[in-house]
Structure 1
Amino acid sequence: MNEVIEKKYVLAINPGSTSTKIAVFENLEPQFVQNIAHHKKDLEKFKNINDQYEYRKKTILKTLLDRKFDITMLSAVVARGGLMKPIEGGVYTINQRMVDDLMAGVSGKHASNLAAVIAYGISWDLNLPSFVVDPPVIDEFTPLAKLTGMPEIKRRSMLHALNIRAVARRESEKMARNFDDLNLIVAHLGGGVSIAALERGKIVDGTNALYEGPLTPERAGTLPTGDLMELIFSGKYKTKEELYAKLVGKSGFNAYLNTNSAKEVGELYAQNNPTARLVFDGMAYQVAKFIAEMAAVLKGKVDAIIITGGMAFSKGLTDLIAERVSFISKVILHPGEDEMRALAEGCLRVLNGAETPKVYR
């Protein structure tokens, strides 16, 4: 007799600065995914991100109505985690303390902070549970991983935690192994790059996606401290904001070739453009170097190296990386990222009793 699988409908919410992405899943099957664009003139009416709450919530509900989806069918609402207090990885029930911290911006202001707030509001109205999954503020670093040569400065965990942990879980299932029993290195390659060491399910070390690691299509990555200090005091950059824009948006491929498109750089590479070959090969070289660094963190006991993110579609790039790191462990390609599915997966683990949600305190 075929087992009847109970249908569970999940609404996933992922806001960006000028849009809000939503998806409705029936179990893990997407019923629809929609990116709701917000007109600049509409957003300009609000003084800050928090003031956009009612506007974005109403827009989501109207979109569901236009899609003729009956919201009373929902089993839960799940949201991308925002910049709350640093917490360990997992699925968290959204509560008032989390909402208050996100509205206060305890770890920074970002559009993603509204995700859990909106999810909490919709779920409150419908008397449903609501969750966040592996927010970007996950902090499972060991004291050794946080240590620097200056007591005033500690390394911070800031990486693509949602995709890294989701991909690691999926590949663990393919290996017929328990995620919490494996040691994995996951390299997320996109506009930003995160390279993380997962020891028995926890991200115990990793590169900061904004300020560390390899050069990326638009970020500088790790820089020589002395030269950076000279640049800061050179007078070229008048404000902290100008330097930030340079390091995080106008560096990497952008600085060398005036484009942050990996596809365009790949085309120039194929045409034997010397600068394109240098930065493309250089990125692969640096990714491999940081993967090896994470292997040292795991004392060489690495069950697999997983390469994911949008740039993992580039066979040329992944071949260059694998050539340098395959001596450490097998290299698995898991190209692309699907944050909405990752949110639904986490939510359904809780709804199906496979995982107990954590409490945000």
Structure 2
Amino acid sequence: MNKILVINPGSTSTKIAVFKDTEEVFTLTIRHSAVELEPYQRVSDQYAFRKEVIIQNLKANGFKLQNFTAIVGRGGLIRPVVSGTYEVTEHLITDLRKGVMGEHASNLGGIISAELAASVPGCKAYISDPVVVDELEPVARVSGHPLFERKSIFHALNQKATARKFARDTGKKYEDLNVVVAHMGGGITIGAHKKGRVVDVNNGVDGYGPFSPERAGTIPAGDLAKLCFEGRYTLQEVKRMLNGQGGLMAHLGTNQAHLVQKKAQEGDPKSNLILSAMAYQVGKEIGSMCSVLEGEIDAILLTGGIANNSYVVDRIVKMVRHFAPVKIYPGEEEMRALAENTLRILNNEEACKIY
């Protein structure tokens, strides 16, 4: 039996889980206060602090590092890669530390996994389906100006896991299906999965697509350009408008969709309008991805935390139900996805990739 440690760092927390093959035997979310994180100028500087906290919590709950077969961390912002599970090498660690595609807490996943695995004979460290998975068709990369190329940055881990779960539920192979997957969380990404490859998807970080609880999505380019040269905002302030302080945060001052739903249901007109607009943009983007698949769609899958929000889901389903059957997979199972992806490597069901 393989024992797998899963590490998923977030901006203010670190999730850990222990799996015995596919059985989750332990899970814990470790919260990090602003005071604890304040001394670290860069996200990558936090790795020693977070690593020690993980070790302490594993020990406190009766787990020994030397008993793990593999350690897998959430993949970060490395250079674009194809979907799969990657062994953590020095080259990979270097790019995670540099933040070659940007700073994000998930960059710590591979770094911490490698350091922990190095202390255990025979144990290897992995990352799997990082957010920079890039399987776009060439035509999907082209924007309206050669200086700007469309990028693939999305919730690859949960989108792929959800599509595989639907395939298992229907007795089929992911590689034989065409599905549109909408991940709806702090960010929203919608991908066209064509026979196992995400051939088109919106950039859910600071690019385009529906606005979300924290991100602005597609906004009028001319107005954005004008704002940038008015001198009222710094580059960092504008970036925060696009990612972190956009979407529901900008309109309503909260990133909690369930609270907005409650206010909308109580009759608040602005909450109703903004939440309906977010659902509208999700439905419109799903329709766009259905056209990418030329109407040959096995299912439309809604996942992520907001898939629990009936106010949003009902509006989306009304817009897209005529394209294909809609299946709801609320929440996300990133920890299980990381463990199962690693288990396929350990069982020689899939080849490990090298970055």
TM-score where L is the length of structure 2: 0.95
| Alignment CA distance shift 1:250-1:188 (3 Å) | same
**In 2, Cα distance between equivalents of 1:194 and 1:316:** 19
- Identify the residue that residue 265 of structure 2 maps to in structure 1: 270
C-alpha contact (below 8 Å) 2:65/2:116 kept by paired residues: no
Query: Which of these residues, 185, 188, 193, is aligned with residue 193 of structure 1?
Result: 188
Higher mean C-alpha deviation, range 18-27 or range 33-42: 33-42
Question: Offset of 1:21 from its aligned partner?
Answer: 1.6
Note if 1:163 corresponds to 2:158: yes
Partner of 1:235: 231
Q: What runs of 5+ residues in structure 1 fail to find an aligned partner?
A: 1-6
Taking the aligned partners of 2:254 and 2:34, their CA distance within structure 1 comes to 25
Aligned to 1:58: 52
- Give runs of aligned pairs for residues 312-331 of structure 1, distance below 5 A: 312-331=307-326
Residues 263 and 178 of structure 1: CA distance in aligned 2, closer, same or farther (over 3 Å): same
CA drift of 1:271 comes to 2.0
In structure 2, what is the equivalent of residue 19 of structure 1? Answer: 13
2:216 maps to which residue?
220
- Which range is displaced more, 78-87 or 221-230? 221-230
Q: CA–CA distance in 2 between the matches of 1:321 and 1:37?
A: 33
The letter of the residue matching 2:223 is D
| Deviation, structure 1 residue 46 | 4.1
Which residue is 2:332 aligned to? 337
The structural deviation recorded for 1:250 is 2.6
Cα distance in 2 between the residues matched to 1:259 and 1:41: 22
State the 1:197 CA deviation: 0.7
Residue in structure 1 matched with residue 109 of structure 2 by the alignment = 115
| Aligned alpha-carbon RMSD (Å) | 1.6
> Alpha-carbon deviation of 1:258?
2.3
After alignment, is 351-360 or 44-53 more displaced?
44-53
Secondary structure of 1:216's match? coil
- Residue type at the aligned position of 1:254: M
Whichever residue aligns with residue 300 of structure 1, its letter is G
Q: Which residue of 2 aligns with 1:30?
A: 24
How do 1:119-134 and structure 2 match up within 5 A?
A: 119-127=113-121, 128-134=123-129
Q: CA deviation at 1:55?
A: 2.8
State the number of aligned residues.
353
* CA shift for structure 1 position 79: 0.7
CA distance in 2, matches of 1:328, 1:251: 30
> Match of 1:162, as an amino acid?
L
Alpha-carbon distance, 1:152 to partner: 1.0
1:251 aligned partner: 246
Q: By how many angstroms is 1:41 displaced?
A: 4.5
Aligned to 2:75: 81
Q: Which residue of 1 aligns with 2:201?
A: 206
Range with bigger deviation, 266-275 or 341-350 = 266-275
SS of 1:72's partner is helix
